Amino acid sequence: MQIAAAPARTTLRQMLLRAWHEHFGNWVERRIPPARNIVLDHRNIFIIPNKQGLGFLLVLGLMFIGAVNYEASLAFALVFLLLGVFILSIFYTFRNLAGLHLSAVPGASVFAGEKAEVIVILTRHGVRRYENVQVSFKGSRKASCDLLEATEQRMVLYVPTSQRGYFDPGRLVVETVFPLGICRAWSLLDLQSRTLVYPCPVECDLDWILANQQHSGNTTIVRGNDDFHGLRDYRTGDSLKHVAWKILARGQGMYTKEYSSNIDEKIWLRWDMFADLGTEARLARLCWCVIKLDTAGIDFGLELPGLRLSPAKGQVHYVQALQALALFGLSAGLPP
């Protein structure tokens, strides 16, 4: 009986914990609705004495016992003075967040597994100053900043990603224990910063794949990509990797270097190239191919179920292709 009961209890605890988290999450969702710009005030700041605060109270308790036992009036006064400090610290800590404006800007897109960059902007309006305010996302480190002379601070946070699609870093934790460190005021904000996360590229044998493409027929395209062919005028959309920088530096204008391999070759990356793999695995390999071909400066087209990108090259095309891969099959992944 007892043996059976033990795991059951754990499950119950876990269940309760999960239920609580869910309940709390919902409550926070209702209490602090997502917004691009949020001002902290009494509606969205939580405040509670922290561990250090309990330690402070413990010390006060000991001092009180000392005061009682030695019947020392001034010791009573000291205890009450520090009790007053404790109570005041609640308001001071609250004040160190209240009135702060927060917004977030998503950083550049990353590949799944890399850390997404989110820039949090803290702004103060008015005369109140803020010290040692910390911001963090779940999984990121805490970044702290002061708003004393400055009216605006930008904090860059790096949040680990795991899946492709639009990445939601979760709620931003803004917190402070300033000035006394015995109370913690915090808020959980959804600043609607969504970063696009591309699939995590997985290496595959591009040559072999291309060789097996019946209708393409080209087999040696990738190999020859180092043979310099000539220069042509730069056109918008050409990969920056192929700009003839030396010529540009001499001030003779902007040219694109052409290689033997990237002339006239048109490669199609197709969904059915990896017929025996699952969706994510296919996307990962396609992603790797896209990076590879872009680096090589080769035109490529992308064909996914329900989506077709004509062969092209350049930054815009590259991003389009990665976006298509990132959002493939995700209806909920659309940016709000």
Partner 1 sequence: MSKSKAATPVISGENFQIPRIAFAWLLVSVVAVIIVHVSRLPIWLTAMCALCVLGRVLIWQGRMSHPGNRIKLAVVVLMVVLIIIQFGRNVLSTDATVGVLLIGITLKLLEMHRKRDVLLVIYLCYFTLVAEFIYSQSIPIAFYTVVTVVIITSALISLNQSPQAQRPWRTAKLAAIILAQSVPLMAACFLLFPRISPLWSMPLQSKNGVTGLSDSMSPGDIGELARSAEVAFRVKFSGEAPDYSELYWRALTLDDFNGHQWRRGLTLDMPQFLGSNPADTRPWFRDMEYKGRAVQYNVILEPTYENWIYTLALPQIHDERMLMGRDLQVNSIRRITQRYTYDARSTLDYRADADDEGLSQRRARRLPSDSNQRSFEFSTQLRKTVPSDEAYVQAVLNHYRTEKFYYTLSPRKLGNNPVDEFLFDTREGFCEHYASSFTFLMRAAGIPARVVTGYMGGEFNPYDSTLTVRQYDAHAWSEVWIAGKGWLRVDPTAAVAPQRISQGSNIALKQEKEFMNNEIFSLMRYRDSRLLNDLRLQLEMMDYAWNRFVLNYNQDMQFQLFNSLFGAVTRLKIVLSVLGFMLVVTLFVVLVIFRKSAQSKLPPATRYYLDFCDYLARLGFPRRIGESPLQYLERMSRQHPQWRPEIEPITRDFIHLAYKTNKPDPFLLQSFQRRVRRVRLLS
68 binds partner 1 (CB under 8 A): yes
| SS3 category, 35 | coil
Contact residue for partner 1 among 74, 249, 275, 332 (CB under 8 A): 74
Written as one letter, the residue type at 289 is C
Greatest alpha-carbon span in the chain: 99
Minimum Å distance from CB 72 to partner 1? Answer: 4
Minimum Å distance from CB 164 to partner 1? Answer: 27
107 binds partner 1 (CB under 8 A): no
Nearer to partner 1, 4 or 74 (CB): 74
Q: Which helix (H) or strand (E) holds 285?
A: helix 279-296
Written as one string, the DSSP assignment of 184-213 is EEEEEE-----EEEEPPP----HHHHHHT-
137 binds partner 1 (CB under 8 A): no
61 binds partner 1 (CB under 8 A): no
Minimum Å distance from CB 136 to partner 1? Answer: 10
Minimum Å distance from CB 84 to partner 1? Answer: 3
Q: What angle do CA 166, 171, 176 make, to 5 degrees?
A: 145
17 binds partner 1 (CB under 8 A): no
327 binds partner 1 (CB under 8 A): no
**Angle between helical axes of 51-70 and 73-95 (0-180°, round to 10):** 160
Distance CA 147, CA 161 (A): 30
**Torsion angle of C-alpha atoms 206, 208, 212, 215, degrees rounded to 10:** 40
Contact residue for partner 1 among 22, 41, 131, 205 (CB under 8 A): 131
How many residues line the site for partner 1 (CB under 8 A)? 58
Residue 64 dihedral angles phi and psi, to the nearest 5°: -65, -45
42 binds partner 1 (CB under 8 A): no
Residues 147-186 that bind partner 1 (CB under 8 A): 149-157, 177-181
Written as one string, the DSSP assignment of 111-142 is EBTBEEEEEEEEEE-SS--EEEEEEE-TTSPP
Nearer to partner 1, 63 or 211 (CB): 63
Written as one letter, the residue type at 168 is D
Residue 120 dihedral angles phi and psi, to the nearest 5°: -100, 130
Nearer to partner 1, 117 or 294 (CB): 117
HEC states along 71-118? CCHHHHHHHHHHHHHHHHHHHHHHHCCCCEEEEEEECCCEEECEEEEE
Stretch that binds partner 1, among 4-12, 59-67, 286-294, 315-323 (CB under 8 A): 59-67
The answer to whether 288 touches 296, Cβ cutoff 8 Å, is no
Residues 77-106 that bind partner 1 (CB under 8 A): 77-85, 87-89, 91-92, 95
Minimum Å distance from CB 80 to partner 1? Answer: 4
Minimum Å distance from CB 109 to partner 1? Answer: 21
Nearer to partner 1, 148 or 248 (CB): 148
Nearer to partner 1, 104 or 289 (CB): 104
Binding site for partner 1 (CB under 8 A): 52, 55-56, 59, 62-63, 65-85, 87-89, 91-92, 95, 126-127, 131-132, 134, 141-146, 149-157, 177-181
